[in-house]
Structure 1
């Protein structure tokens, strides 16, 4: 019997399992790709291990360079000491003996340099340390040339070698970080850290003998700095020794314990421990030579310890590389086996899966497009299991979607965000969402904190000047709508400077915080207390029923502020002068109300302090006069009524002209107006910024014109131009652009411009420090004017972005011996921090001579030059030789009267 041809044709169709096999082949390819990626990853790990090994080898090579370079220091310093004519007297030996020692030192220097050059040559080209080795080689070549030429003193010689050592040590750390960044195991990371710890100890130990020699041969002028460097180096050395106890490798710790217990380490530590006992200072040439050799032996012993640590790390790195290679081989075998098993499983699955895969595939496609559909559970058990799992995944995705929508809405308190998601992936996603929520909340908190910092005084937590203006403006707007009165009390503390001067700035801060607390406790709940800066506060009162209420409040504030304040070291008292201004129906703006209250406070101070004054018609006329003066100043700026005079600044030591200070002059209707009459008026408004801009442009233009006409003698420094910048302008956001614009318009090099600012501005407004840093980045120099009259302590100088201190004339001209000693102290402190010093108001020869003895850099005053017009000042640049400083007056000569 023959089969139906139609049936035979249908049977010859392709079987379903072929389609299923083809369907499964897609994930099979994915498995192959994944296996390939895993193999590639393992191969990358092998490469990383090899690179880590190369980086560790670079650490060893660079450490050899560092150790060799540091071995040059002692013989080089010894040779410099021997060549110093004063060394024979200091050591108590004959020049013949020193000559013999010089031969030994010279041979040692030559050998040490050869070792260093060999270590540099051992760094392979193209390695991590090749670039730094090249730079170090060039630096050492220049340094050796200057040393051989006798151009460097002990201190600069030592700093030069220390710069090389620090650069190599920085490169070592970078190479160690490169090794660690390759993902080496924790034990190798700890071993690399051990190498850095031991290398740091070796470096600090190598510095002890040079620092010891520096303190031994320090002069009176450098003794304090040498002693401080020795003691600081000793602290670094002892800290490095302490960290050796944290070494991770037991064998390395044992090696260190043997070194630490050695007689050589004990002897050198006993010798190099900072002490004021003259017994510890070696001044015998034979003993000195022995100490130098013993120090070299000690450094060599520590170098061997570094080599031991490096060998250990290299062994671990080689083991890491071999382990990574083993993992690669194992992974490759596993991947091949996995692919084979996957192919077999795909064939079997294609033979057994039912037609329900079509439906499941369609649903999976919809889900992959982001359509979270309901998954139907149909077909064989295996397919049902997959469908159920896919349905659970869809449920998890829906929960993720709901949580994401809650975050997008900003509903960070939704309880849904706290519900965890199933499985490891769910935990990761849920952790991510919680991190996002936390980040958003932190950003909100940070924004709130930044807004608070921008509007509040950091010391008292009161609203600052900017916020005070905003609050007063809002109060006046409310008063304009309601027809009520608004009161403003300007509180200016009396005697606060005496607290700062007598008890220190910490006591002053305590007083300011206590005054702020008392003001808050004495006003009504709706009233606002603000701190304008320094010792000035304001109290905003709204609404006000009668002016008498404001005066009563002012007297209560004066009484409360006048109570004693407990500060470290005792009890102090300050008073207060208060000015009261009233805004009626919101008719005035905030600036006017501030000006009226401030004017009333000034009158209270003038009438005896500790009292309250209300702004009246007399003060209104004074304000009108001030407004008239402001208008006249503005007209003078536009109409050419302002001019500059230039007071020379002279080097104290050599008498050479150093530069000029630009001083503003104004003649109103042909009558000179003293600067102390119109400058405060300008500073009370934004007009001072226009004045500063005019002075900047005119002063830089004038110096540029002088430079174009006169060329300084070869080797002589070019004169600078100092320009005063007001505190208000310094806190203005346009100040950097103003200075840059003046320099660009005149073509004056930035380094010839000096900006003078008062120290009070630096203390009162942090924005000023930010702007000063930006101005220094332009290349201009910064000077603190009238130093000593504000709140700045000497210790703050290290953190301030300044280059020069100008000592106030009150200290220079004072006959008080204590004030004179204070001037000497300020000069020494400024030089310690690398600052120049200019003394102001020098009027007597004795003052100049005293400044010369104290090491002051520059001076200005009527004894040297009065302020000169531009033509006369420019003439000082033309003579071939600088004008000589006045000679000190012989004892007994009558003192000349000071000019003004």
Structure 2
């Protein structure tokens, strides 16, 4: 080749330093990718922290609005009371004195309204709380106009402000949830939760004074002027105070303790503690005014505490944002610096050794194209040095590649990830990899914690019901392969309710934790103790051995559970009834095994408690029969097998038809199935809720049809329809919607529907009380069924959300003079508390005469009519209004 040709080839080719630069660019590309990934993550963190900060700021703005709105309530209510002549007469205050107080109240409400308007205007356009602020502004304008016009009822003003406050509080909680959902650090999450806790206390405290003032002017139909409202408000306030003990920030807890010990808080708590005679606390207008304004001072004091909590949360959110931004800047600076430094070094290296690396051209070309080939070390010293360096670069790239593969496949314990790469660049790359590994580990730990929380009971740290089902299912699958026996022990504690009632729920929690620890210590290492909820546990035994082994284990568990447990107030004892179910080849599924063990435990309780029962063929037949009955009930609800009979309820005094009680009947295979055969089966499962829904829809539809066919003359009372609600349905979260749907579908006015519940359910389940209050708010009436058969005292009637009391037939029909006197006492007590009374099971004229003498309102029983089919009941409704006491066939 001539010199000219060689020069031409050199000019056509790419300089060697360019190849070397491309070769070194490969690890630089890895650094760039890692830097980009880390920078992207940091950018997301900055944006998330900024959104969290905006959400916390929205919490502060919304809480300011809420506090200002609630500060308007007292002056508005005060003006309403002052302008009411009856209120002045009740307090014995001269009108001229009220005039001075009215001026003060007017000044107060104007000042409070300005504060509220300022808080609303402080919400910027486009912020999280903008929409809420707009709705609140419109609602307050309407409410203020109604209040200023006069003549508005005290309850309407109070409930109007309450609706506005609740809407703001709901938006505030949503903003707090938005802040927490951004993945902020735990300290910021706890600070936001502290804001909610303090805000809840401030809200509950601000509502005490209106309820207290309302109790001074209580009337029969008042919504806020009642002892129940006052008691309920006080319970909410005291519960909010207890929640303050769980504040996460020591400085905030210290501030709260200072507020709590302040003379103002102590005095206001003493004045506003519920009492049977609220007027004893404040007996004159001067002192009432003092309490009024001291209440405002207390609200201001709590408002400062809210501001402190908000400032702390906002400070933490700002710190989170600044920290994320600093991390982003550091990452970008480090990555760009490394890339710039490495690029400069690659250029210098290429220009320096270009003429000496001709022999490496082929290998360099391969490496520059991404092929990590072995570099041959040969040739002159300079070339060998370059070759060795190039080989080290390839080794580093392989190390990066291997580390990236380890991270990608999730092998974070691979020793390769802990082996640093050589040189400054290697240190940076290694640090980046370690940071990625750390982030992945943190994510895995968080996922593990969340998974543990989802599968374990927070009180005992035992697997929960869902996890127990999973564990049993897995054990049965293993048993199918191995042929081993699997055992399940259903442990139902005896006497646990007495511990809760007698010593409190804290003692009950101590007992549950101790029982869980004892059972866990007593079983074998491979066995698992789970808590299903309440006082129910299960023990999974795998492999189970013989049935005798399972019975022995159950007896040991009964013995260890029965040992005393130390709780505040003295040692207590609980027992255990245990049901044992066995799967010998894993053939049964988990639900069947649970049902068998549960059935055996029920038999253990029925046979005296404190014993173990093994699921046998007799129980298997019983369980199969129950399953068959459940399927038949489900079919009857859809194919018309269920029907309603209606038992008339009459007025005792005039014997006029008052209404009906709807009673479900089931015709199966040509015979009527007694209710005591299928109702318990339905109540043992969710079927009872389906039965209740069917009865609600059918009963309301039937009464609506009767009303349309036979309208009641104007001025005459309309007949009612009573429907029994089961305990399981009443505690179901959908019960209020179910009743509302039935009323909407039938078009029946809500006041004609009576919902009957048992007294035991009201005493035992607070959720039932809450749902009954919501059902009464719909307009339906509540009747306590079978009164006297449970444990309700007469004094408890005043606190129950009920309108009617039904005396059980066992008291009505009893010949015992003491029982008759008890009936008279119950009637008088019910009337004292504003309840009407229905006597059940009236069968003889003498019983009716006694009830009439005692002033009983209504009665039902065979003396009047047996339960009637819909046609006969409708005919009875169309006949004369008086119902003669005749035994019906």
Q: Same fold (TM over 0.5)?
A: yes
Q: Matched residues in 1 for 2:112 and 2:10: separation? A: 93
Aligned to 1:644: 644
Give 1:313 deviation, angstroms: 11
Instruction: Provide the secondary structure at the position in 2 that maps to 1:788.
Output: helix
Match of 1:426 among 421, 433, 441: 433
- Equivalent-residue separation in structure 1 for 2:632 and 2:40 (angstroms): 80
Superposition deviation, residue 125 in structure 1: 3.9
Asked if 1:788 corresponds to 2:760, the answer is yes
Report the equivalent of 1:140.
140
What are the residue-to-residue correspondences of 1:397-412 with 2, within 5 Å?
A: 397-398=401-402, 401=405
Q: Aligned equivalents of 1:503 and 1:810: distance in 2?
A: 29
Q: What aligned pairs does 1:716-755 form with structure 2 within 5 A after superposition?
A: 722=723, 749=745
Shift of 1:438: 6.5
C-alpha distance in 2 between matches for 1:864 and 1:798: 26
What CA distance in whole angstroms lies between the structure 2 residues aligned with 1:198 and 1:619? Answer: 54
Q: Which stretch of structure 1 is more off in the superposition, 56-65 or 350-359?
A: 56-65
Task: Check the 8 A contact 1:657/1:719 in 2, yes or no.
Answer: yes
Contact in 2 for aligned 1:665/1:673 (Cα 8 Å): yes
Distance 1:4 1:199, change over 3 A: same
Aligned to 2:787: 811
Q: Is the 1:421–1:427 contact (alpha carbons within 8 Å) kept by the matching residues of 2?
A: no
Are the counterparts in 1 of residues 52 and 182 from structure 2 also a CA contact under 8 Å?
Answer: yes
How far off is 1:316 after superposition?
12
Matches within 5 A, 1:530-609: none
Deviates more, 1:137-146 or 1:643-652: 643-652
| Structure 1 residue 136, shift from structure 2 partner | 0.8
Pairwise CA distance, 1:391: 0.8
Say yes or no: does 1:851 pair with 2:861.
no
Question: Structure 1 CA distance, aligned partners of 2:614 and 2:318?
Answer: 85
Pairs aligned (count): 802
Structure 1 contact 77–157 (Cα < 8 Å) conserved: yes
| CA shift digits 1:64-119 (9 cap, x unpaired) | 64454343222112113323445335543223422443354345434543553455
Paired residue for 1:778? none
* 1:272 paired to 2:268: yes
Report the TM-score when normalising by structure 2.
0.58
Shift of residue 134 of structure 1? 0.6
Q: Say which is worse superposed, 147-156 or 610-619, in terms of deviation.
A: 610-619
Q: Deviations over 1:267-287 (max 9, x none)?
A: 644542325699994443345
In structure 1, list runs of 5 or more residues that go unmatched: 755-780, 887-895
For the pair 1:92 / 2:53, whether they are aligned, the reply is no
**Alignment RMSD:** 8.6
Distance 1:739 1:420, change over 3 A: farther
1:656-667 to structure 2, matched below 5 A, reads 660-664=661-665, 666=667
In structure 2, relative to structure 1, the CA distance for the partners of 1:92 and 1:494 (3 Å cut) is closer
Work out the CA distance in 1 between the residues paired with 2:868 and 2:874. Answer: 9
Seen in structure 2, the aligned counterparts of structure 1 residues 274 and 353 have a Cα distance that, compared at 3 Å, is farther
Distance 1:840 1:405 in 2: 71
Separation of aligned partners in 2, 1:783 and 1:426:
66
In 1, distance between residues paired with 2:613 and 2:188? Answer: 76
Report the TM-score when normalising by structure 1: 0.57
Per the alignment, in what secondary structure is the counterpart of residue 354 of structure 2?
A: coil
Q: Does 1:392 align with 2:392?
A: no
Q: Tell me if 1:101 matches 2:101.
A: yes
Q: 1:158–1:234: structure 2 CA closer, same or farther, 3 Å change rule?
A: farther
Q: Give CA deviations for 1:343-377 in whole Å, capped at 9, x if unaligned.
A: 9878756633527585565454565xxx7654566
* Deviations 1:106-158 (CA, angstroms, capped at 9, x unpaired): 45434543553455356454444432211111222343355457787657644
Distance 1:268 1:615, change over 3 A: closer
* Paired residues of 2:68 and 2:112 also in contact (CA < 8 A): yes
Alignment partner of 1:354: what SS?
A: helix
| Partner SS, residue 662 of structure 2 | strand
The answer to whether the 8 Å contact 2:49/2:321 transfers is yes
Task: Assess, with a 3 A threshold, how the Cα gap between structure 1 residues 190 and 375 changes in structure 2: closer, same or farther.
Answer: farther
Give the direction of change, closer, same or farther, for the CA distance of 1:514–1:32 in structure 2 (3 Å limit).
closer
Q: Indicate yes or no: 2:701 matched with 1:704.
A: yes
Aligned residue number for residue 79 of structure 2: 79
My pick for the range that moved more, 118-127 or 441-450, is: 441-450
| Residues 144-153 or 314-323, more deviating | 314-323
SS at match of 1:663: strand
Q: Deviations over 1:22-52 (max 9, x none)?
A: 9599999999999999999999999999999
Matched residue SS, 1:749: helix
SS state of the match for residue 663, structure 2? strand
- Distance in 1 (CA, whole Å) between partners of 2:47 and 2:636 is 75
Give the direction of change, closer, same or farther, for the CA distance of 1:860–1:677 in structure 2 (3 Å limit). Answer: same
1:870 Cα deviation from its structure 2 partner? 1.0
Q: Assess if the C-alpha contact under 8 Å between 1:562 and 1:573 holds in 2.
A: no
Tell me how far apart the structure 2 counterparts of residues 317 and 147 of structure 1 sit (CA, whole Å).
Answer: 40
Contact 2:366 2:373 in 1 (8 A): yes
Q: Distance in 1 between matches of 2:191 and 2:531?
A: 57
Answer yes or no: is the 8 Å Cα contact 1:489–1:579 preserved in 2: yes
1:385 Cα shift? 3.8
Contact 1:375 1:391 in 2 (8 A): no
Kindly indicate whether the alpha-carbon contact (under 8 Å) linking 2:599 and 2:615 is maintained by their aligned counterparts in 1: no
Contact 1:794 1:829 (8 Å CA) reproduced: no
Matches within 5 A, 1:22-41: none
Structure-2 residue corresponding to 1:16: 15
- Would you say the 8 A contact 2:723–2:756 is kept in 1? no
**Pairwise mapping of residues 877-892 of structure 1 onto structure 2 (< 5 A)?**
none
